[in-house]
Amino acid sequence: MLDKAKQILEEYFGYTSFRPGQEKAIENVLANHNTLAVMPTGGGKSLCYQIPGLVLDGTAVIISPLISLMKDQVDSLNSIGINAAYINSSLSNSEQRERIDKLAAGHFQFVYVAPERFESADFIHALEFTRLSLIAFDEAHCISQWGHDFRPSYRSIIPNLKQLSNLPVLMALTATATDHVIEDIQSLLGIHSEHQVNTGFARENLNFKIAKGIDKKQFILDFATSRSEESGIIYAPTRKVTDQVYKLLKEKGYKTARYHAGMPEAARKDAQAAFINDETPVMVATNAFGMGIDKSNVRYVIHYALPMNIESYYQEAGRAGRDGEPSDCILLFAAKDVQLQKYLIEKSFMNEENKRQEYKKLQDMTSYSHTNRCLQRYILDYFGDSNGPEKCGHCSNCLDEGERADMTKETQMILSCVKRMDERFGASLVAKVLKGSRDKRVLDFKFDKLSTYGLLSHYTEKEIMNLINYLVADGYLYARDAKFPTLQLTELSSDVLKGTTKVYVQAQPKDSPKETDYH
Ligand code: ADP
């Protein structure tokens, strides 16, 4: 059967060899094992279910949350002579009915549906009459409540599926899943761990960069000038900032599109089409833009402010370079962006436990902006992916040839100050004590009597804060309770205090110019 798979790869798709992981995933499915494929964006997940769907008899049902992608996938299958269709709410009732009848009559090799379709008794009934080759869950992380994009409709498919007497082999595919999410997918869909194919998440063609202490508006203008020939997405944290950045670029004469959920649907569609067809190279958008956009030549993704967590960041940044060509993923960092995200978590409708998790994820996202380590490595470690080298060699940290100052002494002062304050306070009060501030809280707690008071008076409070942030990011300090973080010592702290570990830190920009306001 594998020979047949290879033949289909060449004859239908015109490729001579499989990409990493594809062959194993296809082999598993053909051997009737429920299979999970975790591959990076652009890794070629579609072929993992399309080829078995063509080798096996019957209809393959593909469940996808992305209605906009279904049409593209179906069109491209039709264009190579494969009988495929989608059934979703964009069709009229009679069209839906007609396609469901054709499904039951075994007319299609592939049918794409949204998860909600499984709530329809008609559809389930039709499935029971259909010879099924496989059922694939695209974007399978949406099934897990631990995923950043949990969709209850995805999860509620499972009881309905289990009722099917003709249940075929199942396949789950995702580019973004923590260990927790992977375990969840496996147990929900009955996938054995030996049938998991995980090629890791690394995107070797992406250059991750962090820009701190910059004038963001100027940065965007300079960037748009230097890269005017290329396609790129600028993600803004709110609709208001999206409008501001859009206006800024428009006024300077750049061909720019805009996309957010506050715009009328027609305007959004036009903006999306203009961007996809390369009429407007720059797209300024909120995170409402991108799910299901399959544009391969996006050369850069800039985040104007910190996103909420690493999962969203990697997914959004990962829209760059799907064609495998080198592309840039740049995060513009300003400390106050963290406050905006905290505000958004606080006013959300999540319960306290979920909020706590979101704060923790935000802390990890913030630490990404402060780490001295390789940025790609930081992200891979976050997802528990130990594949690949310690350094990618092309992120802004790997490339930084700037001075690395020995900050061991300063770190020891910070750590002993945290200890003397009983590990009960956050970074800003610790910084004030080390600066020797006469702040009321410092005096109320009598921290001016501590031996560490004023030890770093030759630094600004901001510089001390920067150093503390870095120490948290790289594990020299631990920020307990992500909502109101209090600093605590770690194992690494005791090595530094004993003098067995030295701490080197990249030179930080001295002064930050005024940052763009958006509150
Ligand atoms: P994903 O869903 O994992 O993001 P896609 O399935 O959209 O990725 O594939 C990304 C691109 O890679 C597509 O253009 C696809 O045709 C191409 N591709 C997939 N498999 C192969 C292969 N074995 N050889 C060459 N190109 C491939």
Instruction: Return the residue whose CA atom lies nearest to atom 5 of ligand 1.
Output: 44
Ligand 1 atom closest to the CA of 9, numbered from 1: 23
Instruction: Return the residue whose CA atom lies nearest to atom 10 of ligand 1.
Output: 42
Distance 177 CA to ligand 1 centre (A): 19
Number of C-alpha atoms within 13 angstroms, CB side, residue 412? Answer: 12
Whether residue 488 contacts residue 480, with contact meaning beta carbons closer than 8 Å, is answered with yes
- Using the CB atoms, write b or e for 446-467: b if 16+ within 10 Å: ebeebebbebbeebebbbbbbb
At 99 the pLDDT is 95
Give the residue ranges of the chain where pLDDT is below 70. Answer: 147-148, 292, 402-403, 507-519
H/E element holding 488? strand 486-489
Q: What is the pLDDT of residues 463-479, one digit of tens each?
A: 999 899 889 888 899 98
Distance 318 CA to ligand 1 centre (A): 15
CB of 47 within 6 A of ligand 1: the answer is yes
CB of 371 within 6 A of ligand 1: the answer is no
Distance 500 CA to ligand 1 centre (A): 48
At 70 the pLDDT is 87
At 348 the pLDDT is 87
CB of 39 within 6 A of ligand 1: the answer is yes
CB of 42 within 6 A of ligand 1: the answer is yes
pTM for the model stands at 0.73
Whether residue 37 contacts residue 173, with contact meaning beta carbons closer than 8 Å, is answered with yes
Instruction: Return the residue whose CA atom lies nearest to atom 24 of ligand 1.
Output: 15
DSSP secondary-structure letter at 169? E
Q: How many CB atoms lie within 10 A of CB 215?
A: 15
Instruction: Return the residue whose CA atom lies nearest to atom 19 of ligand 1.
Output: 44
CB of 483 within 6 A of ligand 1: the answer is no
At 148 the pLDDT is 66
Q: What is the pLDDT of residues 69-83, one digit of tens each?
A: 788 889 999 999 999
H/E element holding 493? helix 491-498
At 403 the pLDDT is 67
Ligand 1 atom closest to the CA of 48, numbered from 1: 6
Number of C-alpha atoms within 13 angstroms, CB side, residue 67? Answer: 9
At 110 the pLDDT is 98
CB of 44 within 6 A of ligand 1: the answer is yes
